[in-house]
Chains A and B, each alone.
Chain A
Amino acid sequence: MWNYQKRLQYPINIKTPNPKLASFIASQYGGPHGEVGAAMRYLSQRFSMPNGITKATLTDIGTEELAHLEMVGTLIHQLTKNATTTEIENSPMAPYYIDHGKGVYAISAGGNPFKAETFSVTGDPIADLVEDLAAEQKARATYDNILRVSDDPDVNDVIKFLREREVVHFQRFGEALDSIQNKPASRNTFYMGMKNK
């Protein structure tokens, strides 16, 4: 179970409204490489993991992703709260605004609502952890793309923090994968094929 702490993981204080940037950043809330997909993927994959290292790593990184989801939601909220209707109308956020107003909704930058396929659970520890390594890189690449199009230093400071976390998570998932790859079933020639019948 979980307990809520009434604070962010990292401080966010955006001074300048920017609905265009909000509509781009929204992708890290509910887009294909976003935080809600990451959190649910890791927290769901835990149940079929074979050892304490992998169970703990998925639990704690999955939990951190929930805190990141809150941070991305905060960015969207603070970037739109004081934006005028005209500013929104003349930005790429206009179609989003018609359906969701200034609310925070799980949708990609391209306008596709969140898809549960991104949870990607196979029940196979190797397949799932390799998926997670790729997922961290895809999220990192998305944050890099956001940094290329954003010139707000207050936003970029937060995005850089989130980007660094993807790098750390990639490292820990790699170590978790090692913990099962290096102990393959006794007669296996390959990493795959855990004793899992």
Chain B
Amino acid sequence: MNERCQLMKQIMEYSFAAHDWNLYLNTHPNDRMALRFFKEMSKKAMELKKIYAEKYGPITVSDVNNDQEWTWINEPWPWSV
């Protein structure tokens, strides 16, 4: 697995963890441990997404930071083989 895929895998892991705590917190809104885990996972996912966007290209349109070219349209798209 190359460096780019490795970083994307980490983003998927932290984002997934944050999302799963999000669903749990919806029905357990006063669980302090879960609140802490959500914050940790969510922060880590955001940091990694920022690194990925700078190195390899945007994950959201607001990541596009290029005065020459609209990089949002570049490959790969998520479903590509």
* B-contact bits for A30-66, CB 8 A (1 contact / 0 none): 0000000000000000000000110011001100100
Stretch in A110-118, A130-138, A168-176 touching the partner: A168-176
Closest to A63 in B: B19
Instruction: Flag whether B24 is at the interface (Cβ < 8 A).
Output: yes
User: Contacting A70 at CB < 8 Å: which of B5, B24, B78?
Assistant: B78
Q: A61-B23, A172-B26 are in contact. Are A7 and B79 (CB under 8 A)?
A: no
Question: In the bound complex, what is the Cα–Cα distance between A98 and B18 (angstroms)?
Answer: 42
Residue contact B27 to A175, C-beta cutoff 8 Å: yes
Closest to B78 in A: A8
Specify the main secondary structure of chain A where it touches its partner.
Answer: helix
Could you tell me how many residues of chain A have their Cβ less than 8 Å away from some Cβ of chain B?
Answer: 32
Residue contact B79 to A4, C-beta cutoff 8 Å: no
Question: In the bound complex, what is the Cα–Cα distance between A110 and B62 (angstroms)?
Answer: 42
Closest to B16 in A: A9
Residue contact B12 to A172, C-beta cutoff 8 Å: no
Question: In the bound complex, what is the Cα–Cα distance between A77 and B78 (angstroms)?
Answer: 11
Question: In the bound complex, what is the Cα–Cα distance between A7 and B72 (angstroms)?
Answer: 12
Question: In the bound complex, what is the Cα–Cα distance between A7 and B41 (angstroms)?
Answer: 18
Question: In the bound complex, what is the Cα–Cα distance between A62 and B54 (angstroms)?
Answer: 30
